[in-house]
């Protein structure tokens, strides 16, 4: 029998991905202030990969402390372009500016995962993908955003490669699960190793 995984996130798609993989999941969103945590971590000039895993840890620990003995999963993704950390766009105009900024450039996506029990991190993992956006004409960006609408606001890069967003790219180095923010294979390997799921 599989152990129930507490997902420290309000993300419906992360929950769905885990359920689609055959896991039993209960979502308990973390109430941490991510930007405040990020500021504290970044004062030490943290690398994007380190920042992603530390944000995931902060989420998982905050929920785990209130769920004795439960296995809690935190996840976070950080986009870095030429050393600058970029966050989700608040509206479609910001999304347009984001895509113009990414046009013709290679950025990285760092996806961090942390498993906790009783308020302590017991496993940390980060996977990194390199994403090269092709040269995009401003008119094309406008047409693209008009066709996909506000769904892109859920993506830190203002694209979603599982849909028409794949057309924005020239080259991708990294696995699909890292790019969408939940490196499933390392997670499943660890859950089997600790006996949380059948293996």
Query: For each of the chain's 199 residues, which pLDDT tens digit applies?
Result: 789 999 999 888 899 999 999 999 999 999 887 777 667 676 656 789 999 999 999 999 999 999 999 999 999 999 999 989 998 999 999 999 999 999 999 999 999 999 999 999 999 999 999 999 999 999 999 999 999 999 999 888 999 888 999 999 999 999 999 999 999 999 999 999 999 999 8
At residue 45, the pLDDT reads: 63
Tell me whether residue 175 is one of the annotated catalytic residues.
Answer: no
Q: 22-26: long-range contacts (C-beta < 8 A, 24 or more apart)? A: 22/197, 23/191, 23/197
Domain membership of residue 27 as a residue range = 4-193
Q: Note whether residue 199 is domain-resident.
A: no
**Among 52, 166, 172, residue whose Cα is nearest residue 111:** 52
CATH number at residue 54: 3.90.950.10
At residue 154, the pLDDT reads: 86
Q: Note whether residue 181 is domain-resident.
A: yes
Which residue of the set 33, 76, 139, 198 is catalytic?
Answer: 76
Check: CB of residue 4 under 8 Å from CB of residue 197: no
Reading the block at residue 162, the tokens are: 């599982």
At residue 13, the pLDDT reads: 86
Q: Note whether residue 74 is domain-resident.
A: yes
pTM comes to: 0.90
In whole angstroms, give the CA distance from residue 80 to residue 130. Answer: 10
Q: How many domains does the chain contain in total?
A: 1
Q: Note whether residue 198 is domain-resident.
A: no
Check: CB of residue 5 under 8 Å from CB of residue 71: yes
């Amino acid at each position: 029998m599989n152990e129930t995984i507490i997902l420290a996130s309000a993300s419906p798609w992360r929950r769905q991905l885990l359920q689609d993989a055959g896991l039993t999941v209960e979502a308990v969103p973390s109430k941490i202030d991510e930007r405040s945590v990020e500021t504290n971590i970044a004062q030490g000039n943290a690398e994007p990969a380190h920042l992603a895993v530390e944000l995931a840890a902060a989420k998982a620990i905050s929920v785990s402390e209130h769920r004795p003995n439960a296995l809690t999963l935190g996840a976070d993704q950080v986009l870095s372009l030429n050393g600058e950390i970029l966050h989700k766009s608040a509206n479609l105009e910001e999304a347009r500016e984001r895509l113009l900024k990414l046009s013709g450039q290679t950025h990285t996506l760092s996806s961090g995962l942390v498993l906790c029990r009783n308020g302590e991190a017991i496993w940390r993992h980060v996977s990194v993908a390199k994403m090269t956006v092709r040269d995009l004409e401003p008119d094309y960006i406008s047409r693209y955003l008009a066709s996909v609408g506000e769904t892109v606001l859920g993506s830190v890069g203002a694209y979603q490669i599982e849909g028409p967003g794949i057309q924005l790219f020239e080259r991708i180095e990294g696995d699909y699960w890292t790019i969408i923010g939940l490196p499933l294979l390392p997670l499943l390997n660890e859950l089997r190793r600790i006996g949380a799921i059948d293996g």
